[in-house]
Structure 1
Amino acid sequence: MRLAILSFISLALFLLDMTMVPFFSAWGAYGSLLFTFGSIFSVQGDFDDAFLMALVTGFLQDIFFPYAFGMNMLLNLLIFLGLSKIGTTLKEGRHSAEVLFSTGGALIKSLVMLSLLSLFGFGTNAYSIPVSGIHTLIFALLMHGSIVSLRRVPYMKKEWKF
Protein backbone atom coordinates (compact mmCIF):
# COMPACT_ATOMS: atom_id res chain seq x y z
CA MET A 1 0.00 0.00 0.00
CA ARG A 2 2.84 2.35 0.89
CA LEU A 3 4.61 1.82 -2.43
CA ALA A 4 1.39 2.38 -4.36
CA ILE A 5 0.68 5.66 -2.54
CA LEU A 6 4.22 6.96 -3.09
CA SER A 7 4.08 5.97 -6.76
CA PHE A 8 0.71 7.67 -7.22
CA ILE A 9 1.93 10.88 -5.53
CA SER A 10 5.11 10.82 -7.63
CA LEU A 11 3.13 10.33 -10.82
CA ALA A 12 0.78 13.20 -9.93
CA LEU A 13 3.72 15.51 -9.16
CA PHE A 14 5.41 14.43 -12.40
CA LEU A 15 2.30 15.39 -14.35
CA LEU A 16 2.23 18.76 -12.58
CA ASP A 17 5.93 19.19 -13.40
CA MET A 18 5.26 18.64 -17.08
CA THR A 19 2.08 20.71 -17.34
CA MET A 20 1.85 23.50 -14.76
CA VAL A 21 5.35 24.26 -13.46
CA PRO A 22 6.77 25.45 -16.83
CA PHE A 23 4.37 28.41 -16.63
CA PHE A 24 6.42 29.67 -13.66
CA SER A 25 9.76 29.47 -15.45
CA ALA A 26 12.31 32.25 -15.36
CA TRP A 27 14.91 32.48 -18.14
CA GLY A 28 13.64 29.14 -19.41
CA ALA A 29 14.44 27.29 -16.18
CA TYR A 30 12.28 26.04 -13.34
CA GLY A 31 12.41 23.72 -10.36
CA SER A 32 10.87 20.30 -9.96
CA LEU A 33 8.01 19.37 -7.64
CA LEU A 34 8.93 15.72 -8.02
CA PHE A 35 12.56 16.21 -6.98
CA THR A 36 11.49 18.40 -4.07
CA PHE A 37 9.04 15.78 -2.81
CA GLY A 38 11.62 13.03 -3.15
CA SER A 39 14.37 14.98 -1.42
CA ILE A 40 12.25 15.99 1.58
CA PHE A 41 10.86 12.46 1.86
CA SER A 42 14.43 11.12 1.78
CA VAL A 43 15.65 13.52 4.46
CA GLN A 44 12.86 12.39 6.75
CA GLY A 45 13.23 8.68 5.99
CA ASP A 46 15.86 5.96 5.98
CA PHE A 47 18.00 4.49 3.19
CA ASP A 48 15.16 2.29 1.91
CA ASP A 49 12.92 5.32 1.45
CA ALA A 50 15.70 7.25 -0.25
CA PHE A 51 16.49 4.37 -2.60
CA LEU A 52 12.83 3.89 -3.50
CA MET A 53 12.24 7.61 -4.09
CA ALA A 54 15.42 7.91 -6.17
CA LEU A 55 14.37 5.09 -8.47
CA VAL A 56 10.81 6.30 -8.91
CA THR A 57 11.58 10.00 -9.31
CA GLY A 58 14.68 9.40 -11.42
CA PHE A 59 12.83 7.13 -13.83
CA LEU A 60 9.97 9.58 -14.20
CA GLN A 61 12.36 12.48 -14.81
CA ASP A 62 14.36 10.44 -17.32
CA ILE A 63 11.28 9.75 -19.44
CA PHE A 64 11.33 13.29 -20.82
CA PHE A 65 15.06 13.95 -20.56
CA PRO A 66 16.16 13.92 -24.19
CA TYR A 67 19.92 13.42 -23.97
CA ALA A 68 21.05 10.74 -21.52
CA PHE A 69 18.64 8.21 -20.07
CA GLY A 70 19.65 7.27 -16.53
CA MET A 71 21.47 10.47 -15.60
CA ASN A 72 18.59 11.77 -13.47
CA MET A 73 18.17 8.40 -11.79
CA LEU A 74 21.86 8.18 -10.90
CA LEU A 75 22.04 11.75 -9.61
CA ASN A 76 18.83 11.33 -7.62
CA LEU A 77 20.18 8.12 -6.11
CA LEU A 78 23.41 9.76 -4.99
CA ILE A 79 21.73 12.91 -3.72
CA PHE A 80 18.83 11.17 -1.97
CA LEU A 81 21.12 8.67 -0.22
CA GLY A 82 23.28 11.57 0.93
CA LEU A 83 20.23 13.46 2.13
CA SER A 84 19.02 10.37 3.96
CA LYS A 85 22.37 10.07 5.72
CA ILE A 86 22.19 13.74 6.70
CA GLY A 87 18.56 13.31 7.79
CA THR A 88 19.42 10.51 10.22
CA THR A 89 21.79 12.86 12.04
CA LEU A 90 19.24 15.68 12.31
CA LYS A 91 17.16 16.04 15.42
CA GLU A 92 13.39 15.72 15.18
CA GLY A 93 11.66 18.98 14.32
CA ARG A 94 14.44 20.65 12.33
CA HIS A 95 12.13 21.65 9.53
CA SER A 96 14.19 24.55 8.24
CA ALA A 97 17.26 22.32 7.92
CA GLU A 98 15.28 19.78 5.88
CA VAL A 99 14.12 22.51 3.52
CA LEU A 100 17.63 23.92 3.15
CA PHE A 101 19.19 20.50 2.54
CA SER A 102 16.62 19.72 -0.13
CA THR A 103 17.38 23.07 -1.79
CA GLY A 104 21.10 22.30 -1.61
CA GLY A 105 20.47 18.94 -3.25
CA ALA A 106 18.64 20.64 -6.10
CA LEU A 107 21.49 23.11 -6.54
CA ILE A 108 24.03 20.29 -6.63
CA LYS A 109 21.97 18.36 -9.15
CA SER A 110 21.57 21.44 -11.37
CA LEU A 111 25.30 22.14 -11.22
CA VAL A 112 26.24 18.56 -12.09
CA MET A 113 23.68 18.37 -14.90
CA LEU A 114 24.85 21.68 -16.34
CA SER A 115 28.47 20.55 -16.18
CA LEU A 116 27.79 17.19 -17.81
CA LEU A 117 25.64 18.66 -20.55
CA SER A 118 28.20 21.33 -21.38
CA LEU A 119 30.94 18.67 -21.31
CA PHE A 120 29.06 16.65 -23.91
CA GLY A 121 28.55 19.75 -26.07
CA PHE A 122 24.87 20.46 -25.50
CA GLY A 123 23.71 24.03 -25.12
CA THR A 124 23.08 24.90 -21.49
CA ASN A 125 21.58 27.78 -19.56
CA ALA A 126 23.72 29.09 -16.70
CA TYR A 127 20.68 30.76 -15.12
CA SER A 128 19.11 27.36 -14.48
CA ILE A 129 21.20 26.81 -11.32
CA PRO A 130 19.96 29.73 -9.21
CA VAL A 131 16.46 29.59 -10.68
CA SER A 132 16.02 25.90 -9.86
CA GLY A 133 17.38 26.54 -6.37
CA ILE A 134 14.92 29.35 -5.72
CA HIS A 135 12.01 27.34 -7.16
CA THR A 136 12.98 24.32 -5.06
CA LEU A 137 13.17 26.48 -1.94
CA ILE A 138 9.66 27.83 -2.59
CA PHE A 139 8.30 24.38 -3.40
CA ALA A 140 9.94 22.89 -0.31
CA LEU A 141 8.48 25.56 1.94
CA LEU A 142 5.03 24.93 0.50
CA MET A 143 5.22 21.12 0.50
CA HIS A 144 7.05 20.41 3.76
CA GLY A 145 4.02 20.46 6.05
CA SER A 146 2.02 18.09 3.87
CA ILE A 147 4.96 15.67 3.60
CA VAL A 148 5.38 15.66 7.40
CA SER A 149 1.68 14.93 7.84
CA LEU A 150 1.87 12.21 5.16
CA ARG A 151 4.64 10.46 7.09
CA ARG A 152 2.41 10.42 10.19
CA VAL A 153 -0.43 8.52 8.49
CA PRO A 154 -0.54 5.00 10.01
CA TYR A 155 -0.16 3.04 6.76
CA MET A 156 2.82 5.20 5.70
CA LYS A 157 4.79 4.46 8.86
CA LYS A 158 7.30 1.66 8.90
CA GLU A 159 6.55 -0.69 11.74
CA TRP A 160 9.23 -2.58 13.61
CA LYS A 161 9.26 -6.26 12.80
CA PHE A 162 11.04 -8.70 15.07
Structure 2
Amino acid sequence: MELALQFNSHLFQQTHKAPFLPNRLNSIVSCRATMTNSSTGRKSNLYQVLSLSSESVGPDEIKKAYRKLARQYHPDARPASGKEESTRRFLEIREAYETLSDPASRLVYDYQLSTANYVGRPRRSECSSPSSRAVWQMQLHGLKERSRVRMERKSYSS
Protein backbone atom coordinates (compact mmCIF):
# COMPACT_ATOMS: atom_id res chain seq x y z
CA MET A 1 0.00 0.00 0.00
CA GLU A 2 1.38 3.39 -1.00
CA LEU A 3 0.38 6.91 -0.17
CA ALA A 4 0.32 9.45 -2.98
CA LEU A 5 0.37 13.13 -2.08
CA GLN A 6 -0.86 15.87 -4.37
CA PHE A 7 0.53 19.33 -3.60
CA ASN A 8 -1.01 22.48 -5.04
CA SER A 9 0.30 25.99 -4.53
CA HIS A 10 -1.31 29.15 -5.82
CA LEU A 11 0.45 32.53 -5.80
CA PHE A 12 -1.49 35.73 -6.26
CA GLN A 13 -1.01 39.46 -5.81
CA GLN A 14 -2.89 41.27 -3.05
CA THR A 15 -5.83 43.18 -4.50
CA HIS A 16 -5.78 45.96 -1.92
CA LYS A 17 -2.98 48.35 -1.05
CA ALA A 18 -2.43 49.58 2.44
CA PRO A 19 0.16 52.37 2.91
CA PHE A 20 1.79 50.62 5.85
CA LEU A 21 2.01 47.13 4.28
CA PRO A 22 4.68 46.19 1.73
CA ASN A 23 3.62 44.80 -1.62
CA ARG A 24 3.74 41.01 -1.24
CA LEU A 25 2.59 37.74 -2.73
CA ASN A 26 0.25 35.49 -0.81
CA SER A 27 -0.06 31.79 -1.41
CA ILE A 28 -2.64 29.13 -0.75
CA VAL A 29 -1.38 25.61 -0.31
CA SER A 30 -3.59 22.55 -0.38
CA CYS A 31 -2.80 18.86 -0.12
CA ARG A 32 -4.69 15.70 -0.87
CA ALA A 33 -3.67 12.18 0.12
CA THR A 34 -4.77 9.14 -1.84
CA MET A 35 -4.28 5.55 -0.75
CA THR A 36 -3.23 3.29 -3.61
CA ASN A 37 -2.78 -0.42 -3.78
CA SER A 38 0.83 -1.02 -4.85
CA SER A 39 0.10 -4.30 -6.62
CA THR A 40 -2.64 -2.87 -8.87
CA GLY A 41 -1.79 0.83 -8.77
CA ARG A 42 -5.48 1.62 -8.25
CA LYS A 43 -7.13 3.40 -5.38
CA SER A 44 -8.28 1.02 -2.68
CA ASN A 45 -11.97 1.01 -1.89
CA LEU A 46 -12.28 -0.10 1.73
CA TYR A 47 -15.61 -1.81 1.04
CA GLN A 48 -13.93 -3.90 -1.66
CA VAL A 49 -11.02 -4.66 0.67
CA LEU A 50 -13.54 -6.29 3.03
CA SER A 51 -15.32 -7.97 0.08
CA LEU A 52 -18.51 -6.01 0.74
CA SER A 53 -20.70 -5.46 -2.29
CA SER A 54 -22.51 -2.37 -1.07
CA GLU A 55 -21.77 0.80 0.88
CA SER A 56 -25.10 0.50 2.67
CA VAL A 57 -24.03 -2.44 4.85
CA GLY A 58 -24.42 -2.25 8.60
CA PRO A 59 -21.87 -2.63 11.39
CA ASP A 60 -22.65 -6.34 11.83
CA GLU A 61 -21.86 -7.16 8.19
CA ILE A 62 -18.64 -5.15 8.40
CA LYS A 63 -17.57 -7.01 11.54
CA LYS A 64 -18.45 -10.40 10.05
CA ALA A 65 -16.50 -9.68 6.85
CA TYR A 66 -13.52 -8.42 8.86
CA ARG A 67 -13.39 -11.50 11.09
CA LYS A 68 -13.62 -13.86 8.14
CA LEU A 69 -10.82 -12.13 6.22
CA ALA A 70 -8.67 -11.55 9.32
CA ARG A 71 -8.68 -15.29 10.07
CA GLN A 72 -7.89 -16.07 6.45
CA TYR A 73 -5.00 -13.59 6.05
CA HIS A 74 -3.55 -13.45 9.57
CA PRO A 75 0.24 -13.90 9.20
CA ASP A 76 0.33 -16.60 11.89
CA ALA A 77 -2.19 -18.69 9.95
CA ARG A 78 -0.19 -18.63 6.70
CA PRO A 79 2.88 -20.59 5.62
CA ALA A 80 6.24 -18.83 5.83
CA SER A 81 6.48 -18.45 2.05
CA GLY A 82 3.41 -16.18 1.88
CA LYS A 83 3.90 -14.37 5.17
CA GLU A 84 4.94 -11.02 3.68
CA GLU A 85 1.95 -10.84 1.32
CA SER A 86 -0.48 -12.02 4.01
CA THR A 87 0.89 -9.41 6.45
CA ARG A 88 0.38 -6.66 3.87
CA ARG A 89 -3.14 -7.88 3.13
CA PHE A 90 -3.97 -8.28 6.84
CA LEU A 91 -2.89 -4.69 7.56
CA GLU A 92 -5.03 -3.47 4.67
CA ILE A 93 -8.03 -5.41 6.03
CA ARG A 94 -7.47 -4.06 9.53
CA GLU A 95 -7.24 -0.48 8.27
CA ALA A 96 -10.47 -0.93 6.30
CA TYR A 97 -12.23 -2.34 9.36
CA GLU A 98 -10.99 0.43 11.67
CA THR A 99 -12.24 3.09 9.25
CA LEU A 100 -15.60 1.50 8.45
CA SER A 101 -16.45 0.35 11.98
CA ASP A 102 -16.12 3.86 13.44
CA PRO A 103 -19.26 5.86 12.48
CA ALA A 104 -17.43 9.21 12.28
CA SER A 105 -14.54 7.82 10.21
CA ARG A 106 -16.97 5.98 7.96
CA LEU A 107 -18.99 9.13 7.36
CA VAL A 108 -15.85 11.02 6.33
CA TYR A 109 -14.68 8.11 4.17
CA ASP A 110 -18.08 7.77 2.46
CA TYR A 111 -18.05 11.49 1.70
CA GLN A 112 -14.53 11.28 0.26
CA LEU A 113 -15.51 8.21 -1.74
CA SER A 114 -18.57 9.96 -3.18
CA THR A 115 -16.51 12.99 -4.24
CA ALA A 116 -13.44 11.07 -5.43
CA ASN A 117 -12.12 12.07 -8.81
CA TYR A 118 -10.79 9.86 -11.55
CA VAL A 119 -7.16 8.81 -11.29
CA GLY A 120 -5.00 11.25 -13.21
CA ARG A 121 -7.87 13.66 -13.81
CA PRO A 122 -7.85 16.24 -11.02
CA ARG A 123 -10.93 18.34 -10.40
CA ARG A 124 -10.65 22.00 -11.26
CA SER A 125 -11.54 23.09 -7.75
CA GLU A 126 -8.66 21.15 -6.23
CA CYS A 127 -5.77 21.96 -8.55
CA SER A 128 -6.51 24.95 -10.74
CA SER A 129 -7.89 27.49 -8.32
CA PRO A 130 -7.52 28.36 -4.67
CA SER A 131 -10.10 27.19 -2.22
CA SER A 132 -13.34 29.19 -2.40
CA ARG A 133 -13.38 29.64 1.34
CA ALA A 134 -9.81 30.95 1.39
CA VAL A 135 -10.61 33.44 -1.38
CA TRP A 136 -13.72 34.55 0.47
CA GLN A 137 -11.73 35.02 3.69
CA MET A 138 -9.09 37.06 1.87
CA GLN A 139 -11.75 39.27 0.29
CA LEU A 140 -13.39 39.76 3.67
CA HIS A 141 -10.02 40.63 5.21
CA GLY A 142 -9.38 43.13 2.41
CA LEU A 143 -12.76 44.79 2.94
CA LYS A 144 -12.19 45.07 6.69
CA GLU A 145 -8.71 46.51 6.14
CA ARG A 146 -9.97 49.13 3.66
CA SER A 147 -12.78 50.05 6.03
CA ARG A 148 -10.33 50.44 8.91
CA VAL A 149 -8.01 52.66 6.82
CA ARG A 150 -10.97 54.77 5.70
CA MET A 151 -12.12 55.19 9.32
CA GLU A 152 -8.59 56.24 10.36
CA ARG A 153 -8.49 58.86 7.58
CA LYS A 154 -11.86 60.23 8.70
CA SER A 155 -10.70 60.47 12.31
CA TYR A 156 -7.53 62.39 11.26
CA SER A 157 -9.45 64.83 9.07
CA SER A 158 -11.98 65.72 11.79
Structure with greater proportional helix content: 1
Larger radius of gyration: 2
So what's the TM-score if we normalise by structure 1?
A: 0.27
Higher RCO (C-alpha under 8 Å, 6+ residues apart)? 1
Structure with a larger share of its residues in strand: 2
Q: Could you tell me the TM-score, scaled by structure 2's length?
A: 0.27
